[in-house]
Amino acid sequence: MKKTFLVAVFALIGSAAMAQSGSGFGIKAGLSYNKNGDLIGSVGDGGQDIVEGAEGKAGYHFGFWGKLDFPKIYLRPELVYSKTKSSYDVDGDSQDYDVSKLDMPVLLGYKLIGPLHIFAGPAFQYTLKNDLGDLEVEDVENDFTVGLNAGVGVNLGNVGLDVRYERGFSENEAEFIGSNVTDISGRVDSRPSQIIFALSLKL
């Protein structure tokens, strides 16, 4: 009886997983926890340099994905709008560093067992906008950068769940300055380091 029950459970999981297997496309959305790199600045003319590490904050993303499916592997490109946020203590004030960007991960996946799979691949990123609280921020040094996505996921019917880590590889800083010459000025590292939780739906 127990063996029959286990066989039925695995058959049900396998049939549910097959619903999102195969080539196709869909939509996705989710939440992230992001930390950018260090902020390096000085106060006033010739002020001593200060270095502040980022405090991570929640962000979100949404977009589209496509999939080319093979027996044990798959190729999955995505196009995603992402909004990330970090916080810095700048001259005694907390300032949120908001970054809006387009991400295009190109993921190579491997099917482990049943609905479980792992994946990794490059993520091409285009920065749309960045903002650091009350401070004036110039455009990032490079609009286009490259990072890495790696994670694990599970498919249940037409629904997929995954968790991944994203890290920006390319150095990419943005300069900032206060409204007065005596204010702080410097640069902030815009490379993301984030954990991403995503829900996807095959259409």
DSSP string for residues in 58-99: EEEEEEEEEEEE-SSEEEEEEEEEEEEEEEEEETTEEEEEEE
pLDDT of residue 190: 74
Asked if residue 88 lies in contact with residue 52, where contact means CB atoms within 8 angstroms, the answer is: yes
The CATH number for 70's domain is 2.40.160.20
Instruction: Name beta bridge partners: 161.
Output: 154, 199
pLDDT along the chain (203 residues), means of 10: 42 40 89 82 60 80 95 95 85 80 96 94 91 73 86 94 90 68 67 91 94
Structural domain harbouring 58: 2-202
Structure tokens at 74: 């798959």
pLDDT of residue 139: 67
pLDDT of residue 18: 41
Number of structural domains (the chain) is 1
pLDDT of residue 183: 64
